[in-house]
Amino acid sequence: MSALSENKAMITACEKNKIRAERLKYNLERQGTKGINVMVEDARKLDNFFSFDKILLDAPCSGSGTLNFNETAMSETFTKELIERSVKVQEELLKKALKIVKPGGEIVYSTCSILKDENEDVLNRVLSKENANIVPIEKDLLSDMPVLPTTIDGTVCILPTNIYEGFFVAKIRKNNV
Please tell me the predicted confidence (pLDDT) of residue 128. 94
Please tell me the predicted confidence (pLDDT) of residue 114. 95
Percent composition of the chain: helix, strand, coil (DSSP 3-state, to 5): 30, 25, 45
Taken in order of first residue, the domains within the chain and their CATH numbers are 1-41 (no CATH), 49-174 (3.40.50.150)
Catalytic residue positions? Answer: 112
The pLDDT profile of the chain, 177 residues, written as one tens digit per residue, is 888 898 899 999 999 999 999 999 999 999 999 999 999 999 999 999 999 999 999 999 988 888 766 665 666 777 899 999 999 999 999 999 999 999 999 999 999 999 999 999 999 999 999 999 999 998 787 788 899 999 999 999 999 998 889 999 999 999 986
Q: For residue 14, which phi and psi values (nearest 5 degrees)? A: -110, 125
Residue 115's CB: how many other CB atoms inside 10 A? 20
Please tell me the predicted confidence (pLDDT) of residue 141. 76
Nearest 5°: the CA angle 112, 65, 141 is: 70
Please tell me the predicted confidence (pLDDT) of residue 73. 63
Alpha-carbon distance of 172 to 177, in angstroms, equals 15
Dihedral (CA of 114, 57, 152, 127) sign: positive
Please tell me the predicted confidence (pLDDT) of residue 74. 66
Give the dihedral of Cα atoms 62, 90, 158, 13; nearest 10 deg: -100
β-sheet bridge partners, residue 156: 169
35 contacts 11 by C-beta, under 8 angstroms: yes
